[in-house]
């Protein structure tokens, strides 16, 4: 045990007081009556430089092979943990749930037992295959249908630089829940703006025939904004407020995910129809275009 003298304690106290006063003087102002006032955080204006994108994709999958998706392009998240949303599927990494034929990728959710779960499906990721900072992601897809389906085309941070979800951000290019047919959602989530505190930035767009025909789902991501497009029509914009990572963690590399969840807090909010399976999301292509820096 270390014994500290009274003189040493007084020295520590007065040093702390001095540092505290220095901090107060540097972080606050005085009102007319001498009291401190709150000084808001510094805002660094972010200018939209009108960034554009390369005309040809630097990474793409046109799904011209047959069998398993190309391992050079895709990896998988696997397991049946509920994935933070109380989902009902077990994600596999086999052609039972993700396969390529006739120019299409098909992700199939099936009613079958595996790993303690009542359904199987696939959650494909480009992590460590395509990790990008800014750019245009374009996906042409046809969605499943029926109560309990929850397909998504979305993006997550590869390095979680600012911490676990939602601190490092999420971009949902397309989400659809089967009990609300043809209503498609584009959202971003950050520490300041996310759905569990009802502050998320999101839009809902009706796309007729979302499950009967192919549609193009796209994000244009620059240092200034995340912009969403459905069939080349802009439907969403979230701009960088310049106040730091709690609002804008989108200055680090992200990867793409394609999956079909079953049930869950949102997908299963009105139950799961046991008679609709199997259900599939078909993908015609995935293309990534680099941003042209300025």
Whichever domain contains 109, its CATH number is 2.60.120.200
The verdict on 118 and 12 lying in the same domain is no
**pLDDT tier, 45 (very low <50, low <70, confident <90, very high otherwise):** confident
Count of C-beta atoms within a 10 Å radius of residue 56:
9
In angstroms, the CA 266 to CA 277 distance is: 18
Judge if 159 and 14 occupy the same domain.
Answer: no
The catalytic site residues sit at: 170, 175
- Secondary element (H or E) of residue 98: strand 98-101
Confidence band, pLDDT 50/70/90 cuts, at residue 20: very low
Provide φ and ψ at 20, rounded to 5°: -60, -40
The mean pLDDT value for 111-138 works out to: 98
State the residue range of the domain holding 14: 6-37
Answer yes or no: do 30 and 71 share one domain: no
Domain count, the chain: 2
Residue 275: inside a domain: yes
Residue 127 predicted with pLDDT over 80: yes
Specify if 144 maps to a domain.
yes
């Amino acid at each position: 045990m270390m014994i500290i003298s009274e003189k040493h304690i007084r020295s520590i106290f007065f040093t702390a007081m001095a540092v505290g006063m220095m901090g107060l003087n540097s972080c606050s102002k005085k009102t007319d009556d001498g009291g401190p006032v709150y000084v808001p955080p510094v805002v660094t204006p972010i200018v939209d430089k009108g960034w554009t994108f390369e005309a040809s994709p630097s990474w793409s999958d046109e799904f011209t092979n047959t069998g398993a998706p190309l391992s050079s392009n895709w990896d998988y998240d696997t397991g049946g943990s509920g994935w933070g949303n109380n989902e009902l599927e077990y994600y596999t990494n086999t052609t039972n749930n993700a396969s390529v034929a006739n120019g299409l990728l098909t992700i199939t959710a099936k009613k079958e037992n595996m790993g303690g779960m009542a359904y199987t499906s696939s959650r494909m990721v480009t992590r460590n295959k395509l990790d990008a900072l800014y750019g245009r992601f374009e996906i042409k897809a046809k969605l499943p249908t029926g109560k309990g389906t929850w397909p998504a085309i979305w993006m997550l941070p590869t390095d979680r630089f600012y911490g676990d979800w939602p601190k490092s951000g999420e971009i949902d290019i397309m989400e659809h829940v089967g009990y609300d047919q043809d209503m498609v959602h584009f959202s971003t989530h950050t520490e300041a703006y996310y759905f569990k505190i009802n502050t998320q930035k999101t839009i809902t767009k009706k796309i007729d025939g979302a499950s009967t025909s192919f549609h193009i789902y796209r994000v244009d991501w620059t240092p200034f904004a995340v912009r969403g497009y459905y069939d080349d029509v802009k439907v969403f914009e979230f701009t960088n407020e310049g106040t730091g990572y709690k609002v804008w963690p989108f200055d680090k590399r992200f990867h793409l995910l394609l999956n079909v969840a079953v049930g869950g807090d949102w997908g299963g909010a009105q139950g799961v129809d046991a008679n609709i399976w199997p259900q599939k999301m078909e993908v015609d292509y995935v293309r990534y275009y680099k941003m042209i820096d300025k």
